Structure 1
Amino acid sequence: MTNKKELNVNPDDGSSEKSQSEEGILPEPLPLEAFFHKYGIERSHADNVARNALELFDVLRSVHGLNPVLREFVEINALVHDIGVVTDFEDHHKAGRDILRFHPPSEVPERLWPIISWTAFLHKKKIGKKKLRKLKEKGFGKMSEDLQDLTLKVAALIRLADALDYSRMESRLGKVKFGKRSIRLEIEGQGAVIDAERMAEKGDLWHLLYDTRLEFKPAPKK
């Protein structure tokens, strides 16, 4: 990841929102590197998920349509998505959300802090229409519609990127075939079967957001 003090995001990219300090929270930002030491993040998995997220961002950009300036922001989300594992393994998505609410990465603009915490929360469990409705009844629903939309789009990518490293066997994206309303992604590596199945499961949020279907298949053995 490039070393930048702060991401520069245009104000018209759908990311504007009241600061958390206005909501009664006084966050204490931390440098990204500090998270790995303070919260014991599994570095190899975080790096793999970040790599996967960047590749998925690029490959699927014609569908998700996110501004390229958000590419590094997606990478940062990937690096900290599992920040709550050591604190509370079973509910690490909740622990991660709470940690990041109070300690957002200092490299990220304040207006994007809520996305970091909600993406950590949304990366773990199944997501359907009912869960999204319930989500809007919580703090998530207090954000602007634009910020909610951006959060879900980022979370959809992180869920897929995380699933691609589910086996921890260095699976990678292979060939990509674009259909009229579908995209077939081949998964390469020793854990390809496991990770392709996991990606199909974690693609639930993607398929709630977009009409373009994603198909995940292990690459043919050479």
Structure 2
Amino acid sequence: MSSDNGSSEAVQSVERVVPEPLPLEDLFHIYGIERSHAENVARNALELFDILNFIHGLHPKIKSLVEIAALVHDTGVATDFKNHHKAGRNILLLHSPLEVPERLRPVVAWTAFLHKKSVGKEKVEKLKGKGFGKMPEDLQDLTLKVAALVRLADALDYSRMESRLGKVTFGKQSIKFEIEGQRAVIDAERMEKKCDLWHLLYNTRLEFRPAPKK
């Protein structure tokens, strides 16, 4: 049996079970989520949400959804480190954060799935034939937009050295970010890789470079 089929069957199995939402604090405790990284990623996601709002156009009310999705994106790490994006999705389909409105809970689970590996057009089309494609189209679209932000926010804390966004320069069809911190070179490089989903969704190019040393 292929891993894709196994993954698909796991999602179908989860979908047959009645979900039991849990408070965020319970998810942190039960699944051993690394709090410092989760909070850094949430902080980064909220900052990116605001800076890029004129492009993604998400309603301000969605900020809390982005924040929570960022906080729980690594829910599956302790369960299955290698495939934590899949484990996290399956856990969150069953135990979505109670703080998220019921209709939006699948967005959190699929954002966890989408945060790890590369995401291109082919992968998105493949997802539409799975559980992801069972969501209403507006939620599929919202999930991709939320995931694009969380991927970048996660990459900014790849080194776990609390890199931060510095100077932002706006061009006609591009935005350049300077990354500040002891491991800015590593994290800027990671953001360059993880902006693939953003570039699939939007025409505005994002560029990331370590800030010049003072």
TM tier, smaller: over 0.9
CA–CA distance in 2 between the matches of 1:25 and 1:114?
A: 14
* 2:147 aligned with 1:147: no
Q: What is the TM-score of this pair, normalised by structure 2?
A: 0.92
Deviation at 1:24, TM superposition (A): 4.1
Superposed, 1:182-197 pairs within 5 Å as 182-197=174-189
RMSD: 0.8
CA–CA distance in 2 between the matches of 1:61 and 1:186?
A: 18
Residue in structure 2 matching 1:178, options 170, 173, 188 = 170
* Moved beyond 6 Å, runs of 4+: none
Q: Which amino acid counterpart does residue 201 of structure 1 have in structure 2? A: K
* 2:156 aligned with 1:160: no
* 2:35 aligned with 1:34: no
Please state which structure has a larger fraction of its residues in helix.
2
- Seq. identity, %: 75
CA–CA distance in 1 between the matches of 2:198 and 2:188?
A: 15
Deviation at 1:143, TM superposition (A): 1.1
- Corresponding residue of 2:81: 89
Question: Residues 145-166 of structure 1: CA distance to partner in whole angstroms, max 9, x if unpaired?
Answer: 1110000000000000000000
- Corresponding residue of 2:123: 131
Deviation at 1:118, TM superposition (A): 0.3
Question: Residues 128-154 of structure 1: CA distance to partner in whole angstroms, max 9, x if unpaired?
Answer: 111111111111111111110000000
- Corresponding residue of 2:44: 52
CA–CA distance in 2 between the matches of 1:29 and 1:138?
A: 22
Deviation at 1:25, TM superposition (A): 3.6
CA–CA distance in 2 between the matches of 1:50 and 1:134?
A: 28
Question: What's the secondary structure of 1:127's corresponding residue?
Answer: coil
* 2:103 aligned with 1:78: no
Question: Residues 1-34 of structure 1: CA distance to partner in whole angstroms, max 9, x if unpaired?
Answer: xxxxxxxxxxxxxxxxxxxxxx644110111111
Count of residues in Structure 1 that have an aligned counterpart in Structure 2: 200
Q: Structure 2: give runs of 5+ residues left out of the alignment.
A: 1-14
Q: What is the TM-score of this pair, normalised by structure 1?
A: 0.89
Deviation at 1:66, TM superposition (A): 0.3
Deviation at 1:73, TM superposition (A): 1.0
* 2:212 aligned with 1:220: yes
Q: Structure 1: give runs of 5+ residues left out of the alignment.
A: 1-22
Superposed, 1:95-110 pairs within 5 Å as 95-110=87-102
- Corresponding residue of 1:11: none
